[in-house]
């Protein structure tokens, strides 16, 4: 019996539950490292099955990681460089301008439509011989290193990775407690074409109706300038039903920099919540991506944080494999927890703090905010630190 258990622990096999942007990239990275993967997904792996309008900000650090996974060649044609980031607050004379040239010739990041990311990742994951796909999978029970499924029977591996998003089934099976914070806000996502070019600039605008990001997109096929908006406002905002001309003129009033804007997509809304967990591991189990942390979308960092989880767990797993160790050992899991904690905690506190800082009309707080923006702009050293953080490098 012990012999069988010993053999099972030495298997170079990992089960990943959830093939979102994080779980599927982990499968690709592990396969590159010679580790077998069983990738379980409740939906199909069909391309273009869901389009939800998200324009994902991919940091320079994430771009480099995706390139190391062999994904960048497929993504580059549909990616829009971010050369500058401008932050400004309604009514303030100050803007904070980050220019990529302050740090070199690389852009600060890229904007890629969610469906382009997903399609490129799905195509790559399906080409991996070491990855076995289990689509339309219904999960029943999780025991350490053992997943019971309705369609595929019992699957075993020394490590089960929960990459199954905010409502993680894996997390609940291993009794990891989570806390969800409701902001009473929702995010409107839509794409607009506009008269003036965006000049590869991403805007973070703090407005009394809620903060919004104006993200540069690649030109439309007929050559129009295009940007995506993520507008975070009250959950009662009438965004779904507001006549199009009124939505466009509201945006033009708040954001006059691109001239006439025209809605060029349907509108999508997302409830805004964040999620934190007590721990990210349990025996033979680990959480990555939104299963382990979900952030307010204000800073566009959620999936970037998830890919950093992927980079770290993949590195620990390949080291364990090369040393002939158990891929689900307590030691390895403890290392992963220690490695990821500062990043998870730091980014959560930053994004949550930002929403609180900009969620008040108090004039003293407003003065402090504007002074802070101006000060950061004037201290090159501090500005560079913040730029590097935003770029994930």
Ligand X SMILES: Cc1cc2nc3c(=O)[nH]c(=O)nc-3n(C[C@H](O)[C@H](O)[C@H](O)COP(=O)(O)OP(=O)(O)OC[C@H]3O[C@@H](n4cnc5c(N)ncnc54)[C@H](O)[C@@H]3O)c2cc1C
Residue partners of 226: CB distance under 8 A and separation at least 6: 191, 192, 193, 194, 217, 218, 219, 220, 264
Residue nearest to ligand X (CB): 20
281 or 304: CB nearest ligand X? 304
Q: State the alpha helices, DSSP H only, in the chain.
A: 2-10, 21-32, 60-68, 72-75, 114-126, 169-173, 244-254, 302-322, 330-357, 363-378, 380-391
291 or 332: CB nearest ligand X? 291
Shortest spacing between CB 218 and ligand X, in angstroms = 15
149 or 370: CB nearest ligand X? 149
Pattern of binders to ligand X over 318-347, x per CB under 6 A? ------------------------------
- Give yes or no for residue 41 binding ligand X (CB under 6 A): yes
Q: How many residues does the chain have?
A: 393
- The encoded tokens of residue 341 equal 């904690």
Binders of ligand X in range 46-75 (CB under 6 A): 54, 56-57
Considering only 11, 13, 16, 22, the residue that binds ligand X (CB under 6 A) is: 22
Question: How many CB atoms sit inside 10 A of residue 326's CB?
Answer: 19
Binders of ligand X in range 257-276 (CB under 6 A): 270
- Give yes or no for residue 289 binding ligand X (CB under 6 A): yes
Considering only 89, 115, 119, 164, the residue that binds ligand X (CB under 6 A) is: 164
- Give yes or no for residue 137 binding ligand X (CB under 6 A): yes
155 or 187: CB nearest ligand X? 187
- Give yes or no for residue 18 binding ligand X (CB under 6 A): yes
Shortest spacing between CB 166 and ligand X, in angstroms = 6
Query: Quick one: which of 18, 17, 12 has its CA closest to 36?
Result: 12
Q: What is the rounded distance in angstroms from the CA atom of residue 392 to the CA atom of residue 61? A: 5
- CA distances, 152 to each of 16, 26, 138, 147, 149 (Å): 14, 22, 9, 10, 6
Shortest spacing between CB 366 and ligand X, in angstroms = 26
35 or 287: CB nearest ligand X? 287
Q: What is the rounded distance in angstroms from the CA atom of residue 18 to the CA atom of residue 162? A: 7
- Give yes or no for residue 142 binding ligand X (CB under 6 A): no
Shortest spacing between CB 361 and ligand X, in angstroms = 24
Q: Are strands 84-89 and 201-206 parallel, antiparallel or unpaired?
A: parallel
Which region, judged by CB under 6 A, interacts with ligand X, from 18-26, 194-202, 217-225, 342-350? 18-26
108 or 163: CB nearest ligand X? 163
- Give yes or no for residue 163 binding ligand X (CB under 6 A): yes
Residue partners of 340: CB distance under 8 A and separation at least 6: 280, 292, 308, 309, 312
Shortest spacing between CB 5 and ligand X, in angstroms = 26
Question: How many CB atoms sit inside 10 A of residue 31's CB?
Answer: 21
Query: Quick one: which of 93, 116, 296 has its CA closest to 212?
Result: 296
Considering only 302, 327, 336, 340, the residue that binds ligand X (CB under 6 A) is: 302
If phi > 0 it is left, if psi is from -120 to 50 it is alpha, else beta; for residue 135 that is: beta
Binders of ligand X in range 212-251 (CB under 6 A): 230
Using CB under 6 A, count the residues that bind ligand X: 33
DSSP 3-state assignment of 48?
coil
Residue ranges that bind ligand X, judged by CB under 6 A: 17-23, 40-43, 54, 56-57, 137, 139, 163-165, 169, 187, 189, 230, 270, 289-290, 297, 300-304, 306
């Amino acid at each position: 019996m012990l012999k069988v258990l010993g053999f099972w622990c030495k298997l170079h096999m990992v089960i990943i539950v959830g093939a979102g942007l994080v779980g599927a990239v982990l499968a690709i990275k592990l396969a590159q490292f010679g580790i077998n993967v069983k990738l379980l997904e409740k939906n199909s792996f069909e391309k273009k099955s869901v389009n939800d309008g998200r324009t994902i900000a991919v940091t320079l650090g994430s771009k480099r990681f995706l390139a190391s996974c062999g994904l960048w060649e497929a993504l580059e044609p549909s990616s829009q460089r971010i050369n500058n980031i401008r932050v400004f607050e309604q009514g303030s004379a100050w803007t904070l301008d980050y220019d990529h040239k302050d740090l070199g010739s690389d852009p600060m990041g890229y904007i890629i439509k969610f469906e382009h990311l997903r399609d490129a990742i799905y195509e790559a994951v399906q080409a991996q011989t070491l990855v076995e796909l289990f689509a339309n999978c219904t999960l029943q029970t999780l025991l350490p290193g053992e997943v019971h499924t309705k369609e595929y029977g019992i699957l075993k591996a020394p490590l089960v990775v929960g990459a199954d998003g905010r409502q993680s089934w894996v997390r609940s099976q291993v009794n990891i407690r989570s806390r969800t914070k409701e902001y009473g806000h929702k995010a409107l996502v839509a794409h607009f074409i506009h008269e003036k070019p965006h000049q590869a600039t991403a805007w973070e605008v703090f407005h009394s109706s809620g903060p919004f990001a104006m993200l540069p997109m690649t030109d439309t096929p007929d050559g129009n300038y295009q940007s995506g908006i993520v507008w975070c406002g009250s959950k009662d905002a009438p965004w779904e039903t507001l006549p199009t001309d009124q939505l466009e003129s509201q945006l033009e009033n708040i954001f006059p920099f691109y001239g006439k804007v025209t809605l060029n997509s349907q509108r999508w809304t997302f409830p805004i919540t964040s999620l934190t967990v007590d721990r990210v591991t349990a025996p033979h189990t680990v959480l990555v991506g939104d299963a382990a942390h979900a952030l307010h979308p204000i800073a566009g960092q959620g999936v970037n944080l998830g890919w950093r989880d992927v980079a770290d767990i993949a590195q620990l797993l390949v080291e364990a494999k090369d040393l002939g160790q158990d891929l689900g050992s307590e030691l390895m899991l403890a290392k992963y927890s220690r490695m990821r904690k500062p990043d998870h905690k730091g980014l959560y506190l930053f994004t949550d703090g930002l929403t609180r800082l900009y969620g008040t009309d108090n004039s003293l707080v407003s003065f402090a905010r504007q002074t802070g923006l101006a000060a950061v702009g004037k201290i090159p050293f501090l500005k560079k630190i913040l730029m590097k953080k935003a770029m994930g490098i």
